[in-house]
Structure 1
Amino acid sequence: DIRQAFPRALLVLGGEHGTGFPEFSLQQAPLDLVILGEGEEIVVDLLDRVDRGDPWEDIPGVAFRRNEGSVQVNPRRSRIREIDAIPWPAWDLFDIDQYNEVNQPHGASQGKFMPMLATRGCPFSCTFCTSPHMWTTRWVPRNPQSVVDEMEHYHRQYGTTDFQFEDLTAIVRKDWIRDFCDEIVARGLEITFQLPSGTRSEGIDYEVARKLKAAGCHEFAFAPESGDPRVLQAIKKKVHLPTMFESARSALRAGINVGCFFIIGFPEDDYRSVLRTYRAIVRCAWIGFTNVNLNAYSPQPNTESFQELQRQGVIRDLDDDYLMSLFTFQDFGAKKKSYNPRFGDWELSFLVVFGVVLFYSVYFVRKPRRLAQLVAELFGRSSSNKSTKMAKSFLKDAFTLMKNKLKRA
């Protein structure tokens, strides 16, 4: 227990879940305060006041427990406008080699990797996403030169050769991504980079895809979430599936791997919409998408969808049943928690597994050599695409589970 180990320390929580559930977080954990939204300016202000012995309870963007036990949530602080002025992460305080030794990047394994952010926020308001509450709908890009400066520094300092951009929506403007790619090429940086969290398809045509490939882009993902236009409208997902498929063809033609994200079990889903999602998944596999992330719907903290389920009485308490669903929705083998009146928990679990099996059946039947390539890469450190990386992770987890069971036997 951190509080027992450091009884006089100031315990601070930040991030998506703290921002989504500040009152609940303070009630359930021995925290002193929660930082809401972007934390860089808030935490500096907080620590300056602590050092001076000044009160910090009036800082915008914090929530804390009053002396009598009630929780006070202060108004939010404005978004940081000059994000290029934020110092780079102090990775020198971490054992970078140890992180790389574990070899679990978000995307495919292409060498010594480093997480990066080139932009902040997302201009869209999907009902299931925490971004509007965490970041607002303001998308802010960094100066492309500053981003490449940071990449070049890590390349020289740590020997980083692969950069995993964890941006919510990195490619919004074509001019920005063109400038970014041109800057990498102009400096002659011999690196790879990936966008494993998903990005927009509207900004990618064949010209942009060629620039991305020339700059070192190895893989990115699109996140259509559903193959049903009715569901897409209900969840406010501004995606045009024909445009996405055309952008994917352009990227694949340029030599970039493309992945896709789908979700089954939205409250608006029914069997017809699931079949349409399956049809989109099959089309992705047939076109040549290299991986699929198919997850069960999970009502994340304080999203529009979560609030609607609370209003309907579907979510009554933040109990263990709800909290565990936040962890198991991405776990391939775990039973899912269904928030859809048409699907039970086990039925939803089956629908997710069936969709994954459907994708990879088409993917490998379409080009059987892909299966041979996957098997050949299973025991090496590098992965040509995220499917291979996911297969390695699955085998590693299965081996660890089996070893632990044998120890207990």
Structure 2
Amino acid sequence: AYIREKKPSFKIDILDCEALALSYDQIKKYLDGFKPDVVAITMTTPAYEHVIHVADIAKSLNKKISIIVGGPHPTALPEETLAEKNIDFAIMGEGEITLLELLEHIEMGGANYDQIKGLAYKDIPGKIKKNEKRDLIQNLDSLPFPAKDILPINNYYLPATKRITGGVSTNMITSRGCPFNCTFCMAKTVWGRQTRFRSIKNVVDEIEDMIKKYNVVDFTFHDEFFTANRSRVLEFCNEIKKRGINIKWFCQARCGTVDEEMLKIMKRAGCEKIGFGFESGDENILKLMQKSNDLSKAKESADLCKKVGIKVVGAFIIGYPGETKKTIMKTIKFAKQINPDTAAFFIAIPYPGTELFRLAMEKNYIKKPINWKEFAPLSNQMPPMQIPNITPSELVALKKKAYRSFYLRPRYIVKKLSEIRKLSDLTSLIGGLNLFRRVLKTNK
């Protein structure tokens, strides 16, 4: 949307391969028909191999196509990413301004790339160069709304754990950055630690735009820390009510940052579910993660949500360096004590750009050569990190034990069945069961 606003002469299209469930052959057919001069791809670590494959496809059609990647992985590892023969440019950090400047340089014949902040690239001899860092965008309201008109909006539905009405859904971000320093989190890799907020008017204007144009009913706010500013949350909820907007929404919060009054107001404004990163039931492991959770505050936050009728989605991590089978069992027990409406258990993955990645490389916890396929949470690969005390296969078994122990409790099953009120409740439950089966079939 930013490129289209600043350079309307550029012909732009977005191909969401995952939402459209496209095969590599279908991607190739599309590129052959569109005949782009530039292909820009978001690269996360789990999608690394897929991105490289798409780059190879594009270059096989036309070697002159410029391949640009951006996102967490090339931001953290620009030189390693550019070592791939068909990757020409890597954008580090926030991409809007850097991508625009890069496209303008390519249009003019491709000179003076060294002047573009936030860019790493290959020069003519093939030498990798890394430019200086670009400052973060301070005024997020200056950015246009995402170009949803060229996305397959009707293909977007929330996963079972976050599904609310079952209607058309969309993702939104109302802020960038997170002030905390959790060792496993890669959010700060691109967005940084300084939290920058969009104005409430700007956010709610986008919500109204999505409702009017696309009949969106479910909104997921992907802010790392939606409840970072209590007064802002209240302002948001009041603006929703003031404009008479009727939506359902999901957000992420941090334990200890919610209170009963705020939650009641959020509920009245349409908040149906809140996700919390509980992570561990062991205080020492939480300290190692630099996660300033207090176990009592974690339970209190969950209890307050339930009290006002907001469902709780809990995330837990097992297999962090320093873990033992005993600490993992404490986490499983803690998950059942908190008793969120849905719980997700993840094996710790050392994503590039995180402190955990640095530690894992330093301690040789990651197998060499690195297989990036192992970094996908639901892949059939074994976990990428070999920590002391627990083998990867034992971690996989413990994760499956966590899911069985949490979801196969008779009380939990009866509760879920009793909550079915409408068709969307049933389809959400079925979706959750399918996800549960999928998790038990994977190696991690």
| TM score, norm. by length of structure 1 | 0.87
Residue 245 of structure 1 corresponds to 299
Letter aligned with residue 314 of structure 2: C
Letter aligned with residue 432 of structure 2: M
For the pair 1:158 / 2:200, whether they are aligned, the reply is no
CA root-mean-square deviation: 2.6
Residue 41 of structure 2 corresponds to none
State the secondary structure of the residue aligned to 1:356. Answer: helix
Aligned residues: 384
Selected match of 1:96 from 153, 173, 176: 153
User: Measured at CA, do residues 314 and 250 of structure 1 come closer, stay the same or move farther in structure 2, by a change above 3 Å?
Assistant: closer
Q: Give the CA deviation at 1:368.
A: 1.2
Residue 168 of structure 1 corresponds to 224
Identity of aligned residues (%): 26
User: Measured at CA, do residues 23 and 40 of structure 1 come closer, stay the same or move farther in structure 2, by a change above 3 Å?
Assistant: same
Residue 405 of structure 1 corresponds to none
For the pair 1:146 / 2:202, whether they are aligned, the reply is yes
Q: Give the CA deviation at 1:84.
A: 1.0
185-194 vs 21-30, greater mean Cα deviation: 21-30
- Inter-partner Cα distance in structure 1 for 2:369 and 2:179: 29
- Are the aligned partners of 2:366 and 2:385 in contact in 1 as well (CA < 8 Å)? no
**Counterparts in 2 of 1:350-361, with a 5 A limit?**
350-361=397-408
Letter aligned with residue 290 of structure 2: K
Selected match of 1:108 from 131, 138, 163: 163
User: Measured at CA, do residues 138 and 318 of structure 1 come closer, stay the same or move farther in structure 2, by a change above 3 Å?
Assistant: farther
389-398 vs 19-28, greater mean Cα deviation: 389-398
- Are the aligned partners of 2:75 and 2:92 in contact in 1 as well (CA < 8 Å)? yes
Residue 266 of structure 1 corresponds to 320
Letter aligned with residue 332 of structure 2: Y
- Are the aligned partners of 2:72 and 2:353 in contact in 1 as well (CA < 8 Å)? no
Residue 360 of structure 2 corresponds to 309
Residue 191 of structure 1 corresponds to 247
- Inter-partner Cα distance in structure 2 for 1:397 and 1:313: 28
Gaps of 5+ in 2: 1-56
User: Measured at CA, do residues 251 and 123 of structure 1 come closer, stay the same or move farther in structure 2, by a change above 3 Å?
Assistant: same
Selected match of 1:342 from 389, 392, 399: 389
- Are the aligned partners of 2:365 and 2:385 in contact in 1 as well (CA < 8 Å)? no
State the secondary structure of the residue aligned to 2:276. Answer: strand
**Counterparts in 2 of 1:321-336, with a 5 A limit?**
323-327=372-376, 329-331=377-379, 335-336=382-383
- Inter-partner Cα distance in structure 1 for 2:326 and 2:159: 36
150-159 vs 71-80, greater mean Cα deviation: 71-80
Q: Give the CA deviation at 1:315.
A: 2.9
Superposed CA deviations along residues 185-223 of structure 1, whole A, max 9, x for unmatched, are 11111111112xx32122211111111111101111100
163-172 vs 150-159, greater mean Cα deviation: 163-172
- Are the aligned partners of 1:338 and 1:348 in contact in 2 as well (CA < 8 Å)? no
Selected match of 2:258 from 194, 204, 210: 204
- Inter-partner Cα distance in structure 1 for 2:309 and 2:429: 16
Residue 416 of structure 2 corresponds to 370
Q: Give the CA deviation at 1:75.
A: 1.9
Q: Give the CA deviation at 1:394.
A: 5.5
Letter aligned with residue 223 of structure 1: G
160-169 vs 20-29, greater mean Cα deviation: 20-29
Q: Give the CA deviation at 1:66.
A: 2.7
Selected match of 1:71 from 128, 134, 147: 128
Superposed CA deviations along residues 341-385 of structure 1, whole A, max 9, x for unmatched, are 1111211001111111111134x42561414657x98xx5x3479
- Are the aligned partners of 1:108 and 1:385 in contact in 2 as well (CA < 8 Å)? no
59-68 vs 145-154, greater mean Cα deviation: 59-68
- Are the aligned partners of 1:127 and 1:235 in contact in 2 as well (CA < 8 Å)? yes
35-44 vs 266-275, greater mean Cα deviation: 266-275
Gaps of 5+ in 1: 402-409
Q: Give the CA deviation at 1:29.
A: 4.8
- Inter-partner Cα distance in structure 2 for 1:387 and 1:57: 53
User: Measured at CA, do residues 105 and 184 of structure 1 come closer, stay the same or move farther in structure 2, by a change above 3 Å?
Assistant: farther
Q: Give the CA deviation at 1:171.
A: 1.3
Residue 407 of structure 1 corresponds to none
For the pair 1:5 / 2:61, whether they are aligned, the reply is yes
- Are the aligned partners of 2:349 and 2:383 in contact in 1 as well (CA < 8 Å)? no
Superposed CA deviations along residues 9-36 of structure 1, whole A, max 9, x for unmatched, are 2211011112122122111251110001
Q: Give the CA deviation at 1:316.
A: 5.9
